[in-house]
């Protein structure tokens, strides 16, 4: 009985060894592909983030366009202001000169044309008649 058990155990062990050898050969021939779905999803996320980042950088020319457009508008406004001042400047200068002259006339700093002509006529008359000049000087001295 002991031989029977030994033979049975030997046969079982040999069967297990042949089966293991068969499985080893089978494993060598099987092409095992790893599960890369997690890795693929990681790279997909990174790729999408990079695409978004690149697209956001591509929107910078819009900012550049707005800067150029606003600069052009400011230039047009500046030229408009300069032309307005160029055409309005002489009018205000003439108005200021008139106001200044009126103020000087009011303060008797300058004479009006009529008074200047009167003074000129009086000077000519006094030069032509020296006696009247002396009379006028005495009259003026008495009235002051």
- Answer whether residue 133 shows pLDDT above 70: yes
Question: Per the structure block, which two tokens stand in for 15?
Answer: 């069967």
Answer for the pair 126, 136: CB distance below 8 angstroms, yes or no.
Answer: yes
pLDDT digits (tens, 9 = 90+) for 113-130: 887 887 888 887 778 877
What is the spatial distance between Cα 56 and Cα 46, in angstroms, rounded to a whole number?
15
The shares of helix, strand and coil residues in the chain, as percent rounded to the nearest 5, are 90, 0, 10
The residue that leads in pLDDT, 11 or 115, is: 11
pLDDT of 79 reads 95
Question: Per the structure block, which two tokens stand in for 103?
Answer: 């103020």
pTM for the whole thing?
Answer: 0.33
Please state, rounded to an integer, the average pLDDT across all residues of the chain: 83
């Amino acid at each position: 009985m002991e031989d029977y058990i030994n033979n049975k155990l030997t046969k079982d062990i040999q069967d297990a060894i042949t089966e293991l050898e068969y499985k080893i050969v089978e494993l060598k021939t099987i092409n095992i592909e790893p599960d890369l779905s997690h890795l693929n999803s990681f790279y997909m996320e990174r790729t999408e983030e990079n695409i978004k980042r690149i697209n956001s950088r591509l929107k910078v020319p819009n900012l550049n366009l707005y800067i150029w457009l606003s600069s052009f508008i400011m230039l047009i406004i500046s030229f408009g202001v300069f032309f307005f001042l160029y055409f309005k400047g002489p009018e205000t200068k003439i108005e200021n000169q008139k106001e200044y002259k009126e103020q000087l006339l009011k303060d008797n700093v300058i004479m009006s044309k009529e008074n200047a002509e009167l003074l000129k006529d009086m000077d000519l008359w006094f030069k032509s008649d020296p006696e009247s000049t002396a009379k006028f000087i005495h009259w003026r001295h008495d009235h002051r």
